[in-house]
């Protein structure tokens, strides 16, 4: 009897479910493995999603088509990376100010409109 992909994924999901339910016996290595798999798969999924749904269509494609305005988000994200260095962190304040202002505008707008 050949193993098809549905049967393999059913076995994998059953084993992961048992690993999660092992938390009922206390914090153990089996549960830690299950949580590490969950975090790793989620991080990988969101990284691929961000690259293919956000970066490529909204940054790379407009830049390749000659849109100069697309350089602004690229420049601001470069300034955001300077926040990683204590010596250069002051350069990232412009990007942080933009993010905080946009977040506050969305929150206040949602509160006023009731959404």
For residue 3, the model assigns a pLDDT of 77
- Please report which helix (H) or strand (E) contains residue 109, including its range: helix 93-113
Return per-residue pLDDT of the chain as tens, 115 residues.
677 999 999 999 999 999 999 999 999 999 999 999 999 999 999 999 999 999 999 999 999 999 999 999 999 999 999 999 999 999 999 999 999 999 999 999 999 998 7
Under 8 Å CB-to-CB from 18, ≥6 apart: which residues? 30
Cα–Cα distance for residue pair 52/46, rounded to 1 Å: 10
Under 8 Å CB-to-CB from 71, ≥6 apart: which residues? 63
Q: Which of 74, 49, 80, 47 is nearest to 60 (CA)?
A: 74
């Amino acid at each position: 009897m050949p193993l098809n992909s549905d049967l393999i994924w059913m076995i994998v999901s059953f084993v992961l479910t048992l690993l999660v339910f092992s938390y009922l016996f206390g914090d153990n290595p089996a549960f830690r493995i299950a949580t590490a798999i969950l975090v790793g798969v989620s991080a990988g999924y969101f990284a691929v999603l961000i690259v293919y749904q956000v970066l490529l269509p909204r940054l790379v494609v407009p830049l390749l088509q000659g849109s100069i305005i697309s350089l602004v988000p690229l420049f601001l994200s470069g300034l955001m990376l300077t926040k990683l260095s204590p010596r250069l962190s002051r350069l990232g304040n412009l990007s942080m100010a933009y993010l905080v202002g946009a977040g506050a505008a969305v929150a206040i707008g949602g509160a006023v409109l009731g959404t």
